[in-house]
Amino acid sequence: EDKVVQSPLSLVVHEGDTVTLNCSYEVTNFRSLLWYKQEKKAPTFLFMLTSSGIEKKSGRLSSILDKKELFSILNITATQTGDSAIYLCAVAKTSYDKVIFGPGTSLSVIP
Amino acid sequence: SQTIHQWPATLVQPVGSPLSLECTVEGTSNPNLYWYRQAAGRGLQLLFYSVGIGQISSEVPQNLSASRPQDRQFILSSKKLLLSDSGFYLCAWSPRGNTIYFGEGSWLTVV
């Protein structure tokens, strides 16, 4: 059965800290790995990763994929209170374009 | 540009009543369409996905159903709601083999 696992499930850090969020997967017919940020409503897209070892970067956020070990990490440097959110990892499959989400990591950044 | 609309945004329904949530996508054709549910503080559970008109795949047995009467319209229905159907429902769309994009979401409370 397809599975996407995230850790930790929740995390509290102080402003300025660096955090690493983990996502591992066991999925047949892997196409890509997706990261989303969810605040109060719908998730917003952060990154799509398809190739191993290539870092995607956007401001203080970066992510990388390891297709051999079947995991990805999302790094946030110099965290701010506005980074407080649930971070969702998802895997898109080639078969029927199905997209499966992990449980999410709830990040709280305190001043 | 492509947009996705989902309604109603919130609803409170009694147990045993019917449900209809509607989602439409504009600015694209032949998208993949998805319905997800998110219980409080948890990840996204894939309920249904569709790769074309009249083609619906169900991921979890439940008292919900989905229909795709037109290319860019996706409807989530129930004949009789249960308390356990409460949650945040998200419609999403995807161009073939690419990132998925979410609607605004619908908060359903079954009382």
Per-residue pLDDT tens digits for A52-109: 888 999 999 999 999 899 999 999 999 999 999 999 999 998 866 788 899 999 999 9
Structural contact between residues A97 and B99, judged by C-beta atoms closer than 8 angstroms? no
Rounded mean pLDDT, B21-43: 89
Interface test with A, best of B44, B45, B47, B48 (most A CBs within 10 A): B44
- The pLDDT mean for chain B works out to 91
Q: Chain B interface residues facing chain A, Cβ-Cβ under 8 Å?
A: 32, 34, 36, 41-46, 49, 51, 57, 90, 92, 94, 96-105
**Which chain B residues are Cβ-neighbours of A96 within 8 angstroms?**
49, 51, 57
Residue B24: other Cβ atoms inside 10 A: 18
Round to whole Å and give the CA distance between B23 and B34.
Answer: 10
Residue of chain A with shortest Cα separation from B92: A42
Instruction: Kindly indicate the confidence band of residue B96, based on its pLDDT and cuts at 50, 70 and 90.
Output: confident
Question: Out of A97, A103, A106, whose CB is closest to B97?
Answer: A97
Instruction: Kindly indicate the confidence band of residue B95, based on its pLDDT and cuts at 50, 70 and 90.
Output: confident
Residue B45: other Cβ atoms inside 10 A: 16
Residue B61 pLDDT > 70: no
Residue of chain A with shortest Cα separation from B9: A41
Round to whole Å and give the CA distance between B7 and B24.
Answer: 9
- In angstroms and rounded to an integer, the radius of gyration of the C-alpha atoms of chain A is 14
Please give, rounded to a whole number of angstroms, the shortest distance from the CA of B81 to a CA of chain A.
Answer: 23
β-pairing, B64-70 vs A105-110, is unpaired
Residue B39 pLDDT > 90: no
Structural contact between residues B108 and B85, judged by C-beta atoms closer than 8 angstroms? yes
Complete DSSP assignment for B38-93: E-TTS-EEEEEEEEETTEEEE-S-SSEEEEEEETTEEEEEESS--GGG-EEEEEEE
Please give, rounded to a whole number of angstroms, the shortest distance from the CA of B14 to a CA of chain A.
Answer: 24
- Per-residue confidence (pLDDT) for residue B97, from 0 to 100: 63
Question: Out of A32, A88, A97, whose CB is closest to B44?
Answer: A88
CB pairs under 8 A between A and B: 59
Complete DSSP assignment for A6-47: EE-SEEEEETT--EEEEEEEE-SSEEEEEEEEESSSS-EEEE
Residue of chain B with shortest Cα separation from A4: B43
